[in-house]
Amino acid sequence: MHESASDSIISAVSDITASGRFVLRLPPPLHAALQEAAREAGVSLNAYCLRRLAAPGVRLEHADLAELVSRAASLAGRDLIGVAVFGSWARGNPTANSDIDALVVVEPGFALTRAAYRPWDADPPTVEGREVDAHIVRLPEMGSRVTGLWAEVAIDGLVVFERGLRLSSYLAAVRRSILAGRIERRTLHGQPYWHEVA
């Protein structure tokens, strides 16, 4: 089998003890795209790459998402478990009139009242010029019945912030239930719904 130049470089470099510093050679179009993303995020290219490589998932370089998390934190304070965006924007197919749905996940002791929504509704945050519609919810217990909202978020939601991995772990458990066929998406009169299979 023919070894490419990049494969031979990787083989040679893998025998070297890591110093913590390295030079990464990128194709010019990729380098330009990363530079632009770093500029938009208001950070250096180094800082941007470190953030992108630090952990999987959506990052907060996007200033609007950082503001969304900040607003959720001001709303829930220490009770904030996590924030996920879902719906058409998260799927990448919003219409001109689509808003952005955000799940604001809180601890069990947080009061889920209309008053909790008032500060958000009075001045809703925006992401890319789209209003963000908050859904303040408690994190269900593992093994509890999965509602349609949680199934939808598990399928196309993007976690933009969480403390620990409680939110991601729950969404992963829901996805496993869907993959195992324990939860199915069905349609009735043109409307989708989720059904637990007996």
Give pLDDT tens digits for 133-178: 999 999 999 988 999 999 999 998 999 888 878 999 999 999 999 9
Give the length of the chain. 198
CB 84, CB 158: distance < 8 Å: yes
The string of DSSP letters for 5-31 reads HHHHHHHHHHTSPP-S-------HHHH
Residue 162, C-beta contacts closer than 8 angstroms, at least 6 positions apart = 81, 82, 83, 105, 168
Band (pLDDT 50/70/90 cuts) for residue 103 is very high
CB 58, CB 86: distance < 8 Å: no
CB 98, CB 89: distance < 8 Å: yes
Asked if pLDDT for residue 7 goes beyond 80, the answer is no
Asked if pLDDT for residue 186 goes beyond 80, the answer is yes
Averaged over 17-41, what is the pLDDT?
Answer: 62
Global pTM reads 0.68
The rounded distance, in Å, linking the Cα atoms of 191 and 49 is 42
pLDDT at 129: 87
Task: Tokens for 115, please give them.
Answer: 């008053």
